Structure 1
Amino acid sequence: MSGTDSGRPSLAVTGSTGWLGGLVARDLAGRGVAQRLLVRDLARAPELPSSVAAQCTYRDGVAARAALEGVETLFMVSAAENEDRLAEHRAFVDAAAAAGVRHVVYVSFFGAAPDATFTLARDHAATEEHLRASGMDWTFLRDNLYLEFMDQMVGDDGVIRGPAAEGRAAVVSHADIARVAAVVLLDPASHSGATYDLTGPESLTFAEMAETITDVTGRQVHFHDETLEEAYASRAVYGAPDWQVDAWVSTYTAVAAGELDGVSGDVERLTGRRPTSLREYLESRRDSR
Structure 2
Amino acid sequence: MTRSASSPALAVTGSTGRLGRRVADRLSAAGLAQRLVVRDPDRAPSLPGAEAVRADYSDGAAARAALEGVTTLFMVSGAEEPGRVEAHRTFIDAAAAAGVTHLVYTSFFGAAPDATFTLARDHWATEEHIAASGLNATILRDNLYIDFFPLMVGDDGVLRGPAGEGRVAAVTQDDIADVAVAVLREPDKHVNARYDLTGPAALTLREVAATIAEVTGDKVSYQDESLNEAYASRAKYGAPAWQVDAWVSTYTAIAAGELDGVTTAVPTLTGHPATSLAEHLESVKRAG
Whether TM exceeds 0.5 here: the answer is: yes
Other-structure match for 2:119: 120
1:31 paired to 2:30? yes
Aligned residue runs from structure 1 range 1-289, under 5 A? 5-289=4-288
Query: What SS does the corresponding residue of 1:211 show, helix, strand or coil?
Result: helix
Which amino acid is the alignment partner of residue 280 of structure 2? Y
CA distance in 2, matches of 1:125, 1:288: 36
CA distance in 2, matches of 1:152, 1:51: 31
Which amino acid is the alignment partner of residue 193 of structure 1? N
CA drift of 1:49 comes to 1.0
CA distance in 2, matches of 1:48, 1:157: 40
Which amino acid is the alignment partner of residue 37 of structure 1? L
CA distance in 2, matches of 1:21, 1:288: 21
CA drift of 1:236 comes to 1.0
CA drift of 1:261 comes to 0.3
Which amino acid is the alignment partner of residue 219 of structure 1? D
Which amino acid is the alignment partner of residue 262 of structure 1? G
CA distance in 1, matches of 2:111, 2:190: 19
Structure 1 segments (4+ residues) deviating >2 Å: 4-7
CA distance in 2, matches of 1:18, 1:5: 28
CA drift of 1:154 comes to 0.4
CA drift of 1:51 comes to 1.1
Structure 1 residues 254-280: Cα deviation after superposition (integer angstroms, max 9, x where no partner): 000000001000000001100110001
CA distance in 2, matches of 1:26, 1:286: 22
Using the aligned pairs only, state the percent identity.
Answer: 64
CA distance in 1, matches of 2:194, 2:131: 12
CA distance in 2, matches of 1:258, 1:249: 15
Structure 1 residues 1-60: Cα deviation after superposition (integer angstroms, max 9, x where no partner): xxx853321100001111110010010111110100001101111111111111000000
Query: What SS does the corresponding residue of 2:133 show, helix, strand or coil?
Result: coil
Query: What SS does the corresponding residue of 2:16 show, helix, strand or coil?
Result: coil
Query: What SS does the corresponding residue of 1:9 show, helix, strand or coil?
Result: coil
CA distance in 2, matches of 1:234, 1:219: 22
Query: What SS does the corresponding residue of 1:201 show, helix, strand or coil?
Result: coil
Query: What SS does the corresponding residue of 1:58 show, helix, strand or coil?
Result: coil
CA distance in 2, matches of 1:125, 1:84: 15
CA distance in 1, matches of 2:130, 2:254: 27
Structure 1 residues 66-113: Cα deviation after superposition (integer angstroms, max 9, x where no partner): 001111000000001111111110110011111111010000000011
CA distance in 1, matches of 2:47, 2:20: 13
CA distance in 2, matches of 1:169, 1:127: 23
- Where does the alignment leave 5 or more consecutive residues of structure 2 unmatched? none
Which amino acid is the alignment partner of residue 44 of structure 2? A
Query: What SS does the corresponding residue of 2:73 show, helix, strand or coil?
Result: strand
Which amino acid is the alignment partner of residue 118 of structure 2? T
Query: What SS does the corresponding residue of 1:104 show, helix, strand or coil?
Result: strand
Residue-pair matches, total = 286
Query: What SS does the corresponding residue of 2:263 show, helix, strand or coil?
Result: coil
CA drift of 1:283 comes to 1.1
Query: What SS does the corresponding residue of 2:212 show, helix, strand or coil?
Result: helix
Which amino acid is the alignment partner of residue 248 of structure 2? V
CA distance in 2, matches of 1:67, 1:196: 28
Which amino acid is the alignment partner of residue 238 of structure 1? Y
Which amino acid is the alignment partner of residue 247 of structure 2? W
- Where does the alignment leave 5 or more consecutive residues of structure 1 unmatched? none
Query: What SS does the corresponding residue of 1:196 show, helix, strand or coil?
Result: strand
Which amino acid is the alignment partner of residue 224 of structure 1? Q
CA drift of 1:282 comes to 0.7
